[in-house]
Amino acid sequence: MYYIASNNLTMPKSFKEIEQMFNIPETKIKKEYNRIKKLVKIELTVEQQNEILKSYIRTFCDENKENFEYKILAIQIAKNINESSILEGKNTNTITGLSLYIAMKLEKTNSVNKTKICEGRVSESTLNNAYKKIKDYFDIIIPENYKDKIKILL
């Protein structure tokens, strides 16, 4: 319930943050959230979804001491993916992981690898499948100042 409330009040907290606040396992929080979501049929606005993605990316970057440019780039990519509905229906963790991975490749960040991005969030096969699905849309999701680097992603 705290997760739902925090996201509806535009003060989003990730499952990991709630786990740390209340000492409840993240998996249990997710399980209950999904159960409640089915019962109540919660529909988040695009803006609320963007805030959740931003929160997840910030948390990941802070935990891994990533630089500011990488964080901003990953947030912009996640926002573009979400607003374009290319991966509509995909788990927030999938979009977060994919955005972090694409930003990592564009920024040539070596401190974080795909395994670290997936750790406890999304499986590598899910990330690989989402990457394949989104390949044809790089011109839409990659910010303008990185368009010249798209070939790195192919």
Cα separation, 56 vs 3, whole angstroms: 13
Same domain for 7 and 37: yes
Q: Does residue 65 carry a pLDDT above 80? A: no
Question: Which domain range does residue 39 map to?
Answer: 1-43
User: Residue 109: inside a domain, yes or no?
Assistant: yes
Query: pLDDT of 104-152, one tens digit each?
Result: 888 876 555 777 776 767 788 888 888 899 888 998 999 988 888 887 7
User: Residue 16: inside a domain, yes or no?
Assistant: yes
User: Residue 19: inside a domain, yes or no?
Assistant: yes
Same domain for 80 and 39: no
Same domain for 133 and 84: yes
For the chain, give the longest Cα–Cα distance: 46
Nearest Cα residue to 54 out of 35, 36, 81, 72: 72
For residue 69, give the CATH number of its domain: 1.10.472.10
DSSP state of 85: T
**Cβ-contact 93, 59 below 8 angstroms:** no
- Domain count of the fold of the chain: 2
| pLDDT value at residue 19 | 82
Predicted model pTM:
0.69
Same domain for 136 and 105: yes
